[in-house]
Chain A
Amino acid sequence: GAGVSQSPSNKVTEKGKDVELRCDPISGHTALYWYRQRLGQGLEFLIYFQGNSAPDKSGLPSDRFSAERTGESVSTLTIQRTQQEDSAVYLCASSFRDYPYEQYFGPGTRLTVT
């Protein structure tokens, strides 16, 4: 079946612009996760959703970052007033809400802020 999809695959934006990143989880997966991975670094947790609610937003780096999920499906991560340090790959993953909570990742969006 279809895996997690993300769009766009690449995004180049100017400093100060807003960007929206989209994630379509695997059908039937109730949990959705956003991570950030800077070049050569590990995965940094940003936020996750169970259904449409976000039990944990602790990883969002600043109030410029926000995310929403509607219809227990698509999620959008928005970064306002982008900064150069926001340049990274943004990865989305989804999972069923049952043990062992295996997460499946999309291909990511590579964001470059110039």
Chain B
Amino acid sequence: RKEVEQDPGPFNVPEGATVAFNCTYSNSASQSFFWYRQDCRKEPKLLMSVYSSGNEDGRFTAQLNRASQYISLLIRDSKLSDSATYLCVVNVAGYTDKLIFGTGTRLQVFP
């Protein structure tokens, strides 16, 4: 089993839609969770950290389910500018400061 698994997509959604991505991780002892976004031919950029109680940043909501070992990202009112690849990121077993990146879920928002 991969340490971090994501549906590669692509998810094609119209502007204004709500879209959700899930990610599963294998290390039950993981403590750090993030979502990054990566635009084509650019570096990954931190979108948000994911906290146990769930957290929201504008149109973006992240949830953590430790029992099932999955993380979700919800994007409301999608914009064209949200088109990117979204990377699920978790710390590696035995290393609090080493992260492993999922291969990403591609989102394409169309007019």
Binding site for B on A (CB under 8 A): 31, 33, 35, 41-43, 45, 48, 50, 55-56, 91, 95, 97, 99-108
Q: Which residue of B lies closest to A35 (CB)?
A: B101
| Chain B residues within 8 Å of chain A by Cβ, number | 21
Most chain B CB within a 10 A radius of its CB, from A31, A41, A50, A102:
A102
Pair A43/B44 contact, Cβ less than 8 Å: yes
Contacts of A95 in B (CB 8 A): 97
15 further interface pairs, Cβ-Cβ under 8 Å (given A45-B100, A97-B97, A105-B45): A31-B97, A43-B87, A45-B98, A56-B95, A91-B43, A95-B97, A100-B49, A101-B91, A101-B96, A101-B97, A101-B99, A102-B46, A105-B43, A105-B44, A108-B43
Q: Which B residues touch A55, using CB under 8 A?
A: 95
Residue from B44, B97, B100, B101 with most neighbouring chain A CB atoms (10 Å): B97
Main secondary structure of the interface of A (DSSP, over half): strand
Closest 5 pairs between A and B when the two form their complex, measured CB to CB: A42-B103, A105-B43, A43-B101, A100-B32, A101-B97
* A-side contacts of B98, CB under 8 Å: 33, 45, 48, 56
